[in-house]
Structure formats: C-alpha cells, structure tokens
Structure 1
Amino acid sequence: MSPTLLALAAIALWATLASLGTALSHLPPFLLTGLALIIGSIPSWPLVLRDRAAWRVPPRTLALGIYGLFGFHFLLFIALRHAPPVEANLVNYLWPLFMVVLAPVLLPGMSLRPLHVVAALLGFAGAAIAILGAREGATSTSGAAGQYWGFLPALGSAFIWASYSLWTKRVAAFPTSAIGLFGLVSGVLSLACHALLEAPVVLTAKDWLLVALCGLGPLGAAFFVWDMALKRGDARQIGILSYITPLGSTALLLAVTGRPLTWSIALAAGLIISAAVMGTRAR
C-alpha cells in the first residue's frame, strides 16, 4: 500500500476520535486514554508471542514512543481542562504545520520549499475555519482569562506529535509492531495518572464497547498505519495531508449531531483539499 493511502487510513481513523470522545466525555480523560491505548496495543500481542523481537527496541526508541503517545495525550488533556476546549483543540492542530516546517530542522537532507510554506499556511487556515466553524450556533464554553495558560500545553502537545513523527526517522529502524509496546507502556502510565489524579468510575457495557472501538481505531490501528506511512513516505507531504483530520472530524460530528453544513465548513473543505494537492505536488 502506498504511503499516501496509509496516511489517509490513519487520518480517517483519527477523524472518528472527536465523535467517540464526545460519546465518552463522561469518563475521566486519563482513564479513557489508558484503556484505549492498552486495547489498541492488543493486535500486536500475537506477534510478540511468535517472535519476541517484535517488541525488541533500544531504550532510546522506547523513550521516543512514550514521549509521543503519552506526552501528546497528557498535554492535550491538560490543555482541554484549563483552556477553552475549541480554541485549545485548534492550537493542538498546529502539529501538521509543525511537521512541515520542522522537517528541515529535525531531519537531515530535507529542505523547505516556498510551496510547502504556502500549502502549510493554507491548510492551517482551513483547519482553523473547520474547527471554529463548528462553534456556530453553539454556546461558548470559554473559561476565564486566567485559564488561558492552558494554551501552553496545547502548543506543547502539537510540538510533541510533530517532533515524534519526524524523529521516528532518526532512531534505529524498528518494526511497526513495536508501536504496540509504545501504546501498552503509555496506557499503563495513563492509568497511573488516572489512579493519582482522577476519581474512580464504573463503566457500563456501552462504555466498554465505545472504548474498545476507540482503542482499536484512532488510538490503535491509526498509530500502526501512521508509522508505516512515515517510514515509506515524505514527512512534509504526509504533514500536509494531515490537515484533512480536522475537516473529517468536524464533518463526522456534524453528521452525528445532525447540525447542518455551513459556509465555513464548505470553505474549509476547499482550503484543506487545495493544501493537500499543493503539498503533494511539491517535490
């Protein structure tokens, strides 16, 4: 499968995260993240039983995996607690832009062409319109001015995911199955945070079903195919394609909630698709 198709598969799975997260918003965030990451690691368990080398990675690589999966979600959930959620989510979606502009800094032999910059800015504009457009007709939940420090961890989460995605090309080659190890260890750390920071809750059968879907999809399979895309493709082009994520996520939320399509969403679609085409044509 081509890197572009692999990246689009990951993006499609990540687009479901907001809808699943909305359905599970009554669960503590670290509990949800920990359970989902552990469930997401399960598909790689049979590989370890057959070949222990499937999870054999250097400590540096394991640390990078934990940095990416655990660090990203930890800072994102902190941001969503201490900053207006929609705006914090928008800041978090700077990570595709960071992937494009940081590639020449973090990866040897990479160069940033003017077309990459234009496409990145165009895609970011579309992402902003898509996310902020979802607020139309809704009641603002922005917190007090003193809570705006929460944008700092949102910015940190964006940097972590972009740098993690790029640095996977700098460490020693590791099998994609090792993503399961990253998810398992990150999930255990998330559950530890839940035990320390959150009140215990009892999950219903519906909760477990949705958590399983979340784990097997956006917090599971998406990481595996994303890793394969990064190993085979150009990180700058994949970063541009990532702008489809907020558009797909918003469109799915509109369908689930029954809200109508607005001009802002239509405009965002045009900007994001244009950015994706422009980025993939940049050589």
Structure 2
Amino acid sequence: MKLRATLIGFSAILMWSFLALFTAASGQVPPFQLSAICFAIGSLPGIVTFIVRPERLVLLRQPAKVWIIGIAGLFGYHFLYFTALRNAPAVEAGLIAYLWPLLIVVGSALLPGEKLRWYHVIGALLGLAGTILIVGRNGVDFDGAYAVGYGAAFLCAFTWSGYSLLTRRFDAVSTDVVTGFCLATSILSLLCHLALETTTWPNGAFEWLAVLGLGLFPVGAAFYAWDHGVKNGDIQILGAASYAAPLMSTLILTLFGFAEPSWRIAAACLLVTGGAVLAAQEMFRRRKGRVRPRGPSGPSEVRQPALGAQFGDAISKLANSKPGATVHPTRVKSPSDSAACHQSAGTTACGRSPLRISEPSTSVSGSLPSSARWRASGAPR
C-alpha cells in the first residue's frame, strides 16, 4: 500500500517534468493568466466527478484550516514563484525555490511516525547538487540588488514544503478536496492577472494544445497524485526523488530540441538518481524482506517431520510411560500454530505433536525426541 502510494506520488514528479516543455510551447501567455486557465482545466475532472456522483460533494466539507493550507499551498507557491521571477534572475530564483525537496526531507522528522536517517539527508543533498548543475549551467551570481526576488523564492520553497508536510497530517481528508483547491487557485490567479498583467491568448491550435496539456497533467492531475502520495506514501523518498523533475525536464527539452546535450546532464543524472536510490534504500530493504526473508544461514524454511516419525516417537514415549496413562488424539497443528512446547502437571503438550499423553497422577519427564520437533532451518531468531 505504501509503495503504491509512493509510486503515485512519483507520477506527479514525472508530470512536473513536462512543465517547462508545455510552458515553452504555450507561447507568450502571461504567467498568472496561464495559471488561471490551467488550474481551471485541472479542476474540471473533479467537477465532472461531483456531477456524476453528487454524493461525493460531502467530501468538500472540511475544516477551515484544511482549505487555508490547501489554497495557500497551491496559489501561494505560484504567486511567490512568479514574484521571484519578476524580481530576480530566473537561474538564481529557480535554485532557491528548488530547496523545497530538501526542506521536505528534513522537515519530515517532525511528523508522527517518521524517522530522519542520514541517507535521507545525503540523498536529498545529492539531488540538490544535480539540480545546481542543471539550473546553474551558465553560472550563478547572487546579487544583493535582487533581495526581494530571492526572498520570494525562499518563501516559495517554504510554502510548498510546508504544504506537503502539513498535508501529511490530514491524511484522513479525501483527495477530492484538491478540486476545490484548484478552482480557488484559478480564481485568485485570474484576479492577479487582471490587476498585474495584459491579456494575451494562445496563438493557434498548437499553443492551445500545450495549454490543455499543462492543465491536464503538470497543473492538474499532478496535484491530485502528489496529495495522495504525501498522505499515504513515503514522504522522505518523494522529497529526495523530487530533484528528478528538473533533470527529466532538461532531458525532455533536449529531446524536443529546446536545449543542447552536455556533460552536465550526465553528471546531474548520476547525482539525482544516486541520491534517490540512497534515500529509498530502506524501502528497498523492506520490499526484499517481504519477498524473500533471510536468516543467518540463508532463506527461512519451515519443515514438518513425516507423520510416521511423529507417531513412532509418540508410541515410544507411551511405551516408557507409567501404567494408567491415556492417549488422546488431537489434530496436527500447522506451522502457523504456536511453536512453543511446554510441560505441565500430567501433560506433555507440544503445538507440533499429533498426540497428547496424559497421566492421572504423574508427569512425564523429559521431552519428545528431536526428530518429532518442527525445525526451522536458518529462521530469524
């Protein structure tokens, strides 16, 4: 279940990898206008679901804090990101904004039931290093004149990481509520567009298709998938794996001719992939342990002695017992039954023996021969 939810969350990262491609293909549409259109498109699947299944509308009845966190996360992130790009160079602003995966990994230590390990932090730092290679390929120059933009970028990173971590605390809230977040973000983005930008519509069917792709995937389905992933999956792995988005985005842009291949891409690929694998090593170990548990000397194996051997040992014990003993047949217990054998007054009871020998007034000392016992070769202690 947790692995499945983590993979669903990772699908959001894959969809975000197409953000730059679709944005580049959408023409000269201003950012807030584009955000308003795309979030409106992203809310349509949820609206259709509510029309077809109106009983799900009750899922929108959530506490005010859920709505505040959700809308602040989606709209606040984009508002601060666009503000950062308006007031600082795109490279530096983008690098600062992409601190959010690292903040998610570190901040996850504050969540109930989560433990921050060294490999989570190292994995996230490797991913950040790979992102620096990609985003800062033409050099990085932080200038104090752009302090407002840098500040907005930092707030942007804190906003999205905070939204993701707080969403984890509301794991009982249905993902259907993301429809309301998208619709509210669309309306607020439209207000910002009307106040700050000049309207420019996509030119031609190709640009409209790019806008539609943005709304359906990176700015639509991705937020539903991310919500499910951070609520039910491994949030530390998702945080470290998020650094794959700028790398895959660059690879996609290169594939479609919007960027040139270079050694930086290969190096970033190694850093990001290595960081994600390092951060996910605990999940891989758990998965391997469920498929093929191993003990000190190899795979765990439980063997049942032959039925004839069990009866032979029991009859031998009966022959050595005192007169008056009675034999009560009982069922042969399965390997899943209790493995503990114990002796009580007048009874030798073993969860792995087909016969119970009892005496009215005396107890049988000793134990059954070793051949009548269940054996677990190499089983973990």
**Do both proteins adopt the same fold according to a TM-score greater than 0.5, normalized to the shorter chain?**
yes
- Give the structure 2 partner of residue 167 of structure 1: 166
Map 1:110-259 → 2, pairs under 5 A? 110-133=114-137, 135=138, 146-171=145-170, 173-206=172-205, 207-257=207-257, 259=259
Supply the distance in 1 between the matched residues of 2:58 and 2:71 (Cα, whole angstroms): 19
Decide whether the 8 Å contact of 2:26 with 2:208 is kept in 1: no
- Give the structure 2 partner of residue 4 of structure 1: 6
Supply the distance in 2 between the matched residues of 1:121 and 1:94 (Cα, whole angstroms): 10
Q: Which amino acid aligns with 1:184?
A: L
Change (3 A) 1:172 1:260: closer
Map 1:38-57 → 2, pairs under 5 A? 38-49=40-51, 50=53, 51=55, 52-57=57-62
Q: Which amino acid aligns with 2:6?
A: T
- Give the structure 2 partner of residue 73 of structure 1: 78
Supply the distance in 2 between the matched residues of 1:258 and 1:160 (Cα, whole angstroms): 30
Q: Which amino acid aligns with 1:276?
A: A
Decide whether the 8 Å contact of 1:7 with 1:241 is kept in 2: no
Q: Post-superposition shift, 1:16? A: 0.5
Supply the distance in 2 between the matched residues of 1:132 and 1:46 (Cα, whole angstroms): 42
Supply the distance in 2 between the matched residues of 1:87 and 1:24 (Cα, whole angstroms): 24
* 1:183-227 CA distance string (max 9 Å, x none): 000110000111111122344343332211100010000011111
Q: Which runs of 5+ in 2 are unaligned?
A: 284-381
Structure label with greater radius of gyration? 2
Supply the distance in 1 between the matched residues of 2:35 and 2:201 (Cα, whole angstroms): 15
Higher relative contact order (CA 8 A, sep 6+): 1
Q: Post-superposition shift, 1:258? A: 5.1
Change (3 A) 1:7 1:258: same
Change (3 A) 1:46 1:56: farther
Q: Post-superposition shift, 1:178? A: 1.1
Q: Post-superposition shift, 1:31? A: 0.4
Q: Which runs of 5+ in 1 are unaligned?
A: none
Supply the distance in 2 between the matched residues of 1:258 and 1:48 (Cα, whole angstroms): 39
Decide whether the 8 Å contact of 2:171 with 2:232 is kept in 1: no
Decide whether the 8 Å contact of 1:79 with 1:152 is kept in 2: yes
Change (3 A) 1:196 1:259: closer
**Aligned mate of 2:98, from 93, 99, 102:** 93
Counterpart check, 1:58 vs 2:57: no
Decide whether the 8 Å contact of 1:83 with 1:143 is kept in 2: no
Change (3 A) 1:257 1:128: same
**Secondary structure of the structure 1 residue equivalent to 2:169:** coil
Residues matched between the structures, number: 277
Supply the distance in 2 between the matched residues of 1:143 and 1:155 (Cα, whole angstroms): 13
Supply the distance in 1 between the matched residues of 2:91 and 2:171 (Cα, whole angstroms): 37
**Secondary structure of the structure 2 residue equivalent to 1:66:** helix
Q: CA RMSD in A?
A: 2.0
Change (3 A) 1:219 1:267: same
Change (3 A) 1:100 1:144: closer
Q: Which amino acid aligns with 2:172?
A: A
Q: Post-superposition shift, 1:145? A: 5.2
Percent identity (aligned): 40
* 1:221-271 CA distance string (max 9 Å, x none): 001111111122121111111111111111111222354321111000001
**Structure 1 segments of 4+ aligned residues over 4 angstroms from their partners:** 142-145
- Give the structure 2 partner of residue 36 of structure 1: 38
Q: Which amino acid aligns with 2:32?
A: F
Decide whether the 8 Å contact of 2:28 with 2:200 is kept in 1: no
- Give the structure 1 partner of residue 330 of structure 2: none
- Structure having the higher strand fraction is 2
Supply the distance in 2 between the matched residues of 1:243 and 1:120 (Cα, whole angstroms): 8
Decide whether the 8 Å contact of 2:92 with 2:142 is kept in 1: no
Decide whether the 8 Å contact of 1:55 with 1:181 is kept in 2: yes
Decide whether the 8 Å contact of 2:105 with 2:236 is kept in 1: yes
- Give the structure 2 partner of residue 26 of structure 1: 28
Supply the distance in 1 between the matched residues of 2:144 and 2:176 (Cα, whole angstroms): 44
Q: Post-superposition shift, 1:96? A: 0.5
